[in-house]
């Protein structure tokens, strides 16, 4: 067992890497500089099994333990930045206006590199560790693509683990829960088709604006009246596009929105009932609808065995008092969910201190968290693959 002091020796070097990545953000799958930086560092640690170009710019590197045969566990970090104009005013701010590491994936990448350096030097475990560096977490399904391109089978990964920094949680603390930890993400488009005309003669039209307003209110009752109050469902209508004039009733109104839930069955429920409610309301007024529902990230579901292992690993590092093992799930989503659909494991939150929130222009990953994140990965490996 190591305390976090073991990893403070890596902090200044890993901070340099983190700030370099922060200055040079890249988006979605176009991570050519970032991937080269990661691959070069991995090679410099003496790791010789490195596969690049998975899901375009993803990387998997394998470190074999010195303790003989055993399973392979996967540790995943995301590498992509966001299309945000940075306003952190840090000396290491983004050099590219309109792109920034606003979710801390620079920190995630740097921490997994720090763990890679330590593990490649010490190899105090049996079996192997697969280091997974993933592109396109932010809405472009890089995690799903890496799974589809066969990394779990090809590298023999039996369990997989992820970590995300959490602004508002103290440095040195961890948060996790068994079961759903982040929500599924779906969205929908809904066109209300009426009959337009002069705004002064509404009786000659089928006014889709009024009907769309009724539909929006009707959808709220799907949550308040048709869903078990102990099961989380969010339905938010976020777009309402109608005529661009004061005196025109349009032919149609375009609505769009998002659905978040922790219960997989509620995705089916939402798709079916949004359609039925909207159709019923529209037809009652002589209008009709067009409806498209799209499923994106599934629920990020922590498996019990993986969760217990993650709790044990974090507790070995910082003590059980600094590990909250019953956090409330978050309604954001995470494409690591696809890896947890493919293999058992767990996702954990790492305290980022009192920084701005994720995706905010003044957010910055907190370098004080680096030794804790590195220590967690090492502790997880040495706990899961103890000799």
Count of residues engaged in binding Ni ion, rule: CB under 5 A: 1
Cα–Cα distance measured from residue 176 to residue 180, given in angstroms and rounded to the nearest whole number: 10
At its nearest, how many Å lie between Ni ion and the CB of residue 164? 6
Q: Between 109 and 342, whose beta carbon lies closer to Ni ion?
A: 109
At its nearest, how many Å lie between Ni ion and the CB of residue 109? 11
Q: Between 330 and 343, whose beta carbon lies closer to Ni ion?
A: 330
81 makes contact with Ni ion (CB under 5 A) = no
Torsion of CA 113, 117, 119, 120, to 10 degrees: 120
176 makes contact with Ni ion (CB under 5 A) = no
209 makes contact with Ni ion (CB under 5 A) = no
Cα–Cα distance measured from residue 320 to residue 304, given in angstroms and rounded to the nearest whole number: 18
Pick from 380, 315, 75, 332: nearest CA to 174: 315
At its nearest, how many Å lie between Ni ion and the CB of residue 365? 10
Q: Between 60 and 103, whose beta carbon lies closer to Ni ion?
A: 103
Q: Which of residues 100-129 bind Ni ion (CB under 5 A)?
A: 103
Question: CA 106, 112, 114, 117 torsion: positive or negative?
Answer: negative
318 makes contact with Ni ion (CB under 5 A) = no
CB of 135 closer than 8 Å to CB of 76: no
Q: Between 103 and 120, whose beta carbon lies closer to Ni ion?
A: 103
- CB closest to Ni ion, residue no: 103
Q: Where are the alpha helices (DSSP H) in the chain?
A: 5-8, 11-23, 32-44, 105-122, 142-148, 151-154, 208-226, 264-284, 304-318, 337-342, 370-384
Q: Between 127 and 142, whose beta carbon lies closer to Ni ion?
A: 142
At its nearest, how many Å lie between Ni ion and the CB of residue 349? 11
At its nearest, how many Å lie between Ni ion and the CB of residue 40? 24
Interaction site with Ni ion (CB under 5 A): 103
């Amino acid at each position: 067992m190591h305390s976090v002091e073991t990893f403070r020796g890596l902090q200044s070097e890993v901070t340099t890497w983190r700030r370099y990545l922060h200055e040079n953000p890249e988006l979605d799958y176009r991570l050519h500089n970032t991937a080269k930086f990661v691959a070069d560092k991995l090679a410099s640690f003496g790791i010789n099994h490195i596969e690049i170009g998975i899901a375009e710019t993803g990387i998997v590197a394998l470190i074999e333990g010195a303790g003989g045969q055993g399973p392979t566990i996967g540790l995943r970090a995301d590498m992509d930045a966001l299309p945000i104009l940075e306003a952190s005013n840090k000396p290491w701010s983004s050099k590219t206006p309109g792109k920034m590491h606003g979710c801390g994936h620079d920190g995630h990448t740097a921490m997994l590199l720090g763990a890679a350096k330590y593990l490649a030097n010490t190899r105090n475990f049996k079996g192997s560790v697969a280091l997974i560096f993933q592109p396109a977490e932010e809405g472009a399904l890089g995690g799903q693509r890496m799974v589809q391109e066969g990394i779990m089978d090809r590298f023999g990964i039996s369990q997989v683990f992820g970590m995300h920094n959490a602004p508002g949680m103290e440095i040195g603390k961890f948060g996790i829960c068994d079961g759903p930890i982040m929500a599924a993400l779906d969205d929908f488009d809904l066109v209300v088709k009426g009959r337009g005309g002069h705004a002064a003669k509404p009786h000659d039209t089928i006014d889709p604006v009024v009907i769309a307003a009724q539909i929006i209110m009707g959808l709220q009752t799907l949550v308040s009246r048709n869903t078990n109050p102990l099961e989380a469902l969010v339905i938010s209508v976020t777009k309402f596009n109608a005529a661009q004039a004061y005196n025109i009733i349009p032919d149609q109104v375009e609505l769009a929105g998002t659905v978040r839930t922790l219960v997989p069955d509620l995705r089916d429920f939402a798709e079916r009932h949004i359609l039925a409610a909207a159709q019923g309301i529209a037809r009652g007024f002589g209008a009709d609808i067009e409806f498209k529902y799209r499923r994106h990230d599934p629920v990020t579901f922590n498996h019990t065995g993986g969760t217990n292992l993650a709790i044990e690993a974090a507790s070995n590092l910082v003590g059980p008092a600094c590990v909250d093992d019953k956090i409330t799930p978050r309604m954001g989503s995470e494409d690591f969910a696809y890896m947890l659909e493919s293999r058992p494991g767990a996702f954990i939150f790492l305290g980022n201190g009192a920084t701005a929130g994720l995706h905010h222009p003044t957010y910055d990953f907190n370098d004080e968290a680096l030794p804790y994140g590195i220590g967690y990965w090492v502790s997880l490996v040495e706990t899961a693959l103890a000799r």
